[in-house]
Amino acid sequence: MLIFVYGTLKRDGSNHHYLEGQRFVGRAVTKPLYRLYDLGGYPGMVADPELGSPIEGEVWDVDRGCLQRLDELEDVDGGEYAREVIPLEAPFSGDEIQGYRYLRSVAGCRDLGASW
């Protein structure tokens, strides 16, 4: 499965080891539908179709075991993040690539612009 990562999971990020053994596909950028916020040690990408900007990240090809570990890291079951299809620009436009969208409030958090 192809997955878009934009924060600590990127190469040289503090949680990149979760992607050990997986295949890097390439750099990517989202459609301008999101905002990226500093959540204190890691970023959160939230939907903002009106004021969104393209978020920079990477696409990785991950196996089922890795995907389960990523879901745990992102606390999908606890409601911190949702894993969903993330619309990306070319060369990935139209592909069904998933990523993690932050679900909680970002009130008082610093807007990071396009990149973590």
Domain containing residue 38: CATH number: 3.10.490.10
Whether 25 is in a domain gets the answer yes
Does 15 reside within a domain? Answer: yes
Over residues 57-100, the pLDDT tens digits come to: 999 999 999 999 999 999 999 999 999 999 999 999 999 999 99
Range of the domain at 16: 2-107
Nearest to 5 by CA among 94, 65, 73: 73
Distance CA 54, CA 14 (A): 23
In a domain, 114, yes or no: no
Instruction: State how far the Cα of 46 lies from the Cα of 112, in Å rounded to an integer.
Output: 12
**Is 116 part of a structural domain of the chain?**
no
Supply the pLDDT for residue 11: 97
Residue 115 located in a structural domain:
no
What is the C-alpha to C-alpha distance for residues 45 and 47, in angstroms, rounded to an integer? Answer: 7
Residue pair 67/100 in contact (Cβ under 8 Å)? The answer is no
Share of the chain above pLDDT 90, in %: 98
d(Cα 112, Cα 35) in Å, to the nearest integer?
8
> The whole model's pTM is what?
0.95
Whether 113 is covered by a domain: the verdict is no
Q: Is 74 annotated as catalytic? A: yes
Which residue of the set 20, 50, 58, 74 is catalytic? Answer: 74
Q: What total number of domains does the chain contain?
A: 1
The reply to whether 16 falls in a domain is yes
